[in-house]
């Protein structure tokens, strides 16, 4: 009987570039957040909030991927930041920055947008 040996998946150059991009975005958003003087309480309260979208997986992988991707795309926090800036609301921009930090860190760790085939299938790799 042949024995299988587990191998560590290699990181493709494209995946590595996307992870570095996520790190750069997270660092930039964190720098802006620190300069906003909003304090670490708000940051700690919100940093994991986007992961609540994983609850959609209770309704199946298709709905789960949709809910996860809606919250883990840069579109929503960009819209929130623009709304805060255009309306003059000082509260919305820091929330958007924390959201972007979360997304950037997720990308850095290899957690990408999900495919409907299952939580482990992402646009960056298979988690």
pLDDT, one tens digit for every residue, the chain (127 residues)? 555 554 456 788 988 999 999 999 999 999 999 999 999 999 999 999 999 999 999 999 999 999 999 999 999 999 999 999 999 999 999 999 999 999 999 999 988 899 888 778 788 777 6
Q: Give me the torsion for CA of 64, 99, 84, 21, rounded to 10°.
A: -110
The reply to whether 13 falls in a domain is no
Quick check: is 63 in a domain? yes
Is residue 48 in a domain?
yes
The residue segments making up the domain with residue 75 are: 23-122
For residue 65, give Cα distances in angstroms to 1, 71, 88, 109, 118. Answer: 39, 10, 33, 18, 8
**Domain count of the chain?**
1
Q: Residue 29 and residue 8: Cα distance in Å, rounded?
A: 31
Is residue 18 within 8 Å of 25, Cβ to Cβ?
no
Residue 2 lies in a domain: no
Residue 4 located in a structural domain: no
8 found inside a domain: no
In a domain, 38, yes or no: yes
């Amino acid at each position: 009987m042949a024995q299988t040996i587990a191998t560590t998946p290699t990181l493709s150059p494209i995946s590595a570039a996307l992870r570095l991009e996520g790190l750069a975005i997270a660092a930039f958003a964190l720098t802006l957040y620190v300069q906003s003087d909003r304090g670490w309480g708000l940051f700690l309260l919100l940093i994991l909030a986007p992961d609540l979208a994983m609850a959609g997986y209770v309704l199946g992988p298709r709905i789960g991927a949709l809910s996860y991707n809606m919250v883990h795309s840069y579109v929503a926090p960009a819209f929130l930041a623009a709304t805060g800036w255009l309306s003059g609301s000082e509260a919305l921009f820091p929330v958007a920055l924390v959201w972007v930090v979360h997304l950037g860190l997720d990308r850095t760790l290899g957690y990408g947008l999900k495919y409907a085939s299952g939580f482990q299938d992402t646009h960056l790799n298979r988690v």
